[in-house]
Amino acid sequence: MQIFIDCDPGHDDVLAILLALAHSELITIKGITTVAGNSSVENVTDNILKVLDYIGVSVPVAQGCARPLRREPEPQPTAHGNSGMDGPILPAAKSRVDARHAVEFLQDAIMRQTEPVTLVTLAPLTNIATLFETYPEVKKRISRICMMGGSLNGGNILPRSEFNIYHDPEAAKIVFHSGVPITMSGLEVCAEAKTMLADFEPLKHGGRVSRLAYELMDFYCGYAHERNWDYTNVFDAVPVAQLLHPELFSGTEYRVDIETEGDLCRGMTVAIQGEFTPPQSPVTVLEHADGPRFSTLMLDALRILDQRQPD
């Protein structure tokens, strides 16, 4: 399966990318694009370049939109630090981004593929909406969007809004009206796909990639520690895990629309059954996950990468 990953690294973005890289026999990452979200687009681009250099992997990276379509950026330093990936101290990146903007990179790369591709979106949907509006022909070359974003019942930034959708609801509305099939990993399924904090402790004595993961999670889990939780949710790894092992997940098909305004519900994903009308996208909303097997999949991926990248 050939995939493109659109992201805003981001601790859990990096773990999602590591999970995909560990299973190159099933997934080929054809490119990574970045967008403003957890931090500025410059920061998140630098973050992924440093990670790829550190683990010795070469993947094309293209920098994308620096702000939402109609709004100012709202980075999340509480969750991810000012850099977007506080915690690890990595050498300066030697790799450089593709000269093209992420939208032009995606259009060219997708149209060059001989078979339809899968988009894995782990961030606000600004790049993807701009791609669809500028180059609508690419939609026919995309088999599915596997998305981390949205929620059926709750929120993590407003009472009914998840951050990726909230950050650029106008972009999300364009994507959900694109007609491209979507598998949505929202807050409900991410709550079940959890990893116990104790499972991360042995990583600090592991190999090169495991130690990086430990440093990432040592910062990222601060939110859980403050609340005396014994687990954390690795949100962005869920859509990648679902691609690798769909049997670990179950969901329901909905028509999903986006509320773009409101102090309490900007970015709300409104899911409706039985009223699907094209060209809105058919959306499979994942609702349940096998948490223990998800956690094992994550930890096994780090061991696989350790073996490929010895110290």
What is the per-residue pLDDT across 210-263, written as a single tens digit (0 to 9) for each? 999 999 998 888 777 777 788 788 999 999 999 999 999 999 999 999 999 988
Q: Tens digit of pLDDT for each residue in 117-175?
A: 999 999 999 999 999 999 999 999 999 999 999 999 989 999 999 999 999 999 999 99
pLDDT band at 276 (very low <50, low <70, confident <90, very high): low
Q: Tens digit of pLDDT for each residue in 111-132?
A: 999 999 999 999 999 999 999 9
pTM: predicted TM-score of the whole model, two decimal places:
0.96
CA neighbor of 270 nearest in space, from 144, 157, 145, 160? 160
Record the tokens describing residue 171, joined without a space.
Answer: 């972009």
Of 72-81, 176-185, 269-278, the range with the lowest mean pLDDT is 269-278
CA distances from 262 to 28, 101, 268 (A): 40, 32, 9
Domains belonging to the chain, first-starting first, are: 2-308 (3.90.245.10)
CA pair distance 102, 25, nearest whole angstrom:
26
Record the tokens describing residue 113, joined without a space.
Answer: 């593929």
**Can you give the pLDDT at residue 1?**
93
